[in-house]
């Protein structure tokens, strides 16, 4: 777990810093083993299913952006200074790095987005910028200086850069991070990282879905459920005046919009669960060619078969007095409240074996759906036909 300084723990962090103020945690994660080397990171950036970028430039010339996948010889042609390689979702491609994300289990798991790892050549940076999400910056190798402006007043960006770089940056805080140090930044804090030597930084980001994201999903679900339309059976002759929109029409539309926005708690649970578990299209798990039937699944589990979540799948769950929800990769399953343990194990548990189904009468059908979607798979050879 994260090594908190004396007098500060998770409660104090949530009260005084989470989404409020930056915080430097010196030596908070000293054991950063099994991270990919710069060469391995470059290898990932050459793969088609891996999201990667190279950002080069400086304050004088501005910053240029190139998206991967890259060819190996492109790295050989890079200069010795002034560029940064950034690779997203590294834990989905290297599942053992999930151990690093487990350091942040004091925050809601459904908010966790991904682990990005960046390698910066001397002088490499991505410029001063502002993020709309929470991030923990973990120094893994080398030293890196971070300058911060917690309350930037001017958010206009330079027009000579391919990335959103602040035109005016006036830092008031300066930290130098060494391996094992962690810097927390809430949304809206302007920051600029730079170094005179090679450095590696791990960035653990947390999702911040917006109202527009929720409305877009709600709109899609309305389409799926029939999309209630504007109606005017009470239309009066006095309303008809060419193409004029009458006040009565506005009132009808207002009632339609209000009825669509008055979501029940159950509807909100479903919307939020679907939204926060939607993955990037290129990271969605592959669907298997065939899926065993319910009896076969039951037999495999009874015979000590074990299941595992796909590293790229996103799971979440919610529970109330009368119902329980399981969410995975944008899909939702409504279950009885008694299935809370089943949902919790699937979303967070480490032991996915025959005990998973204890007390979950509908669990077997959900497991089959998850196998069909590729969100779950068998391990230790239990994918062999029974």
Q: Which CATH number do you get for residue 28?
A: 2.60.120.650
Verify that 31 and 54 share a domain, yes or no.
Answer: yes
DSSP label at residue 284: S
Verify that 104 and 175 share a domain, yes or no.
Answer: yes
Q: Which of 206, 221, 250 is the last residue of a domain?
A: 206
Q: Which long-range contacts (CB under 8 A, 24 or more apart) does 239-244 make?
A: none
Rounded Cα distance between 192 and 189, Å, is 10
Residue 263: what pLDDT?
61
In a domain, 202, yes or no: yes
Residue 75: what pLDDT?
95
Tens of pLDDT, residue by residue, the chain (386 residues):
799 988 899 999 999 999 999 999 999 999 898 899 999 999 999 999 999 999 999 999 999 999 999 999 999 999 999 999 999 999 999 999 999 999 999 999 999 999 999 999 999 999 999 999 999 999 999 999 999 999 998 999 999 999 999 999 999 999 999 999 999 999 999 999 999 999 999 999 998 888 788 777 777 767 766 677 888 999 988 888 888 888 998 998 888 777 666 666 777 788 889 989 999 999 989 999 888 899 999 999 999 899 999 999 999 999 877 889 999 999 999 999 989 999 999 999 877 888 888 878 789 999 999 999 999 999 865 444 33
- Show the DSSP H helices in 112-169 as ranges: none
Structural element, H or E, at residue 177: strand 173-177
Burial letters 104-118, b for 16+ CB under 10 A, else e: beebebbbbbbbbbb
Verify that 62 and 89 share a domain, yes or no.
Answer: yes
In a domain, 276, yes or no: no
Which residues neighbour 70 within 8 Å (Cβ) at sequence distance 6 or greater? 42, 45, 46, 52, 54
In a domain, 267, yes or no: no
Verify that 254 and 182 share a domain, yes or no.
Answer: no
In a domain, 269, yes or no: no
In a domain, 326, yes or no: yes
Query: What are 385's two structure tokens?
Result: 């036909």
Residue 224: what pLDDT?
64
Sequence length of the chain is 386
Query: What are 351's two structure tokens?
Result: 């032991």
Verify that 57 and 175 share a domain, yes or no.
Answer: yes
Verify that 97 and 228 share a domain, yes or no.
Answer: no
Rounded Cα distance between 141 and 198, Å, is 8
In a domain, 68, yes or no: yes
Using alpha carbons, list the distances in angstroms from residue 21 to 16, 24, 149, 154: 7, 10, 11, 19
3-state DSSP assignment of residue 186? coil
Verify that 151 and 221 share a domain, yes or no.
Answer: no
Verify that 72 and 194 share a domain, yes or no.
Answer: yes
Verify that 257 and 295 share a domain, yes or no.
Answer: no
How many domains is the chain partitioned into structurally?
A: 3
Domain CATH number, residue 293: 3.40.366.30
Q: Which of 228, 262, 296 is the last residue of a domain?
A: 262
Verify that 15 and 108 share a domain, yes or no.
Answer: yes
Residue 383: what pLDDT?
45
3-state DSSP assignment of residue 310? coil
CA 193 to chain CA centroid, nearest Å: 22
Residue 382: what pLDDT?
46
Residue 385: what pLDDT?
36
Residue 225: what pLDDT?
63
Rounded Cα distance between 355 and 348, Å, is 14
Residue 243: what pLDDT?
81
Instruction: Give the residue numbers spanning the domain of 309.
Output: 281-379
């Amino acid at each position: 777990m994260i090594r908190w300084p004396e007098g500060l723990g998770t409660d104090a962090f949530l009260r005084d810093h989470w989404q409020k103020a930056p915080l430097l945690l010196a030596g908070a994660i000293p054991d950063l083993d099994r991270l990919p080397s710069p060469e391995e990171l470059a290898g990932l950036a050459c793969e088609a299913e891996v999201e990667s970028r190279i950002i080069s430039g400086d304050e004088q010339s501005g910053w240029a952006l190139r998206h991967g996948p890259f060819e190996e010889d492109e790295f050989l042609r890079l200069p010795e200074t002034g560029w940064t390689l950034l690779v997203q979702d590294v834990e989905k491609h290297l599942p053992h790095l999930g151990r690093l994300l487990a350091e942040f289990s004091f925050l809601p798991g459904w908010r966790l987005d991904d682990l990005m790892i960046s390698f910066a050549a001397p002088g490499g940076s991505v410029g001063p910028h502002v993020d709309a999400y929470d991030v923990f910056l973990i120094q893994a190798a080398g030293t890196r200086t971070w300058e911060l402006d917690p309350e930037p007043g001017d958010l206009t960006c330079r027009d000579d850069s391919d990335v959103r770089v602040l035109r005016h940056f006036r830092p008031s805080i300066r930290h130098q991070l060494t391996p094992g140090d962690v810097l927390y930044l809430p949304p809206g804090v302007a920051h600029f990282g730079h170094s005179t030597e090679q450095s590696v930084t791990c960035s653990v980001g947390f999702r911040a879905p917006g109202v527009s994201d929720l409305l877009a999903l709600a709109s899609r679900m309305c389409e799926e459920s029939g999309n209630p339309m504007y109606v005017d059976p009470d239309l009066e002759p006095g309303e008809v005046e060419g193409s004029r929109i009458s006040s009565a029409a506005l009132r009808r539309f207002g009632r339609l919009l209000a009825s669509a926005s008055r979501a029940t708690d159950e509807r909100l649970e479903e919307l939020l669960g679907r939204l926060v578990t939607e993955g990037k299209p290129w990271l969605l798990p592959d669907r298997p060619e065939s899926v065993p039937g319910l009896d076969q699944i039951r037999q495999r589990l009874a015979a000590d078969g074990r299941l595992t979540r796909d590293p790229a799948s996103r799971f979440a769950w919610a529970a109330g007095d009368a119902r329980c929800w399981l969410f995975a990769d944008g899909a939702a399953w409504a279950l009885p409240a008694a299935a809370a343990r089943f949902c919790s194990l699937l979303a967070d548990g480490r032991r996915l074996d025959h005990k998973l189904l204890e007390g979950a009468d509908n669990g077997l059908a959900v497991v089959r759906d998850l196998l069909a979607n590729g969100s779950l798979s068998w391990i230790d050879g239990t994918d062999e036909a029974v």
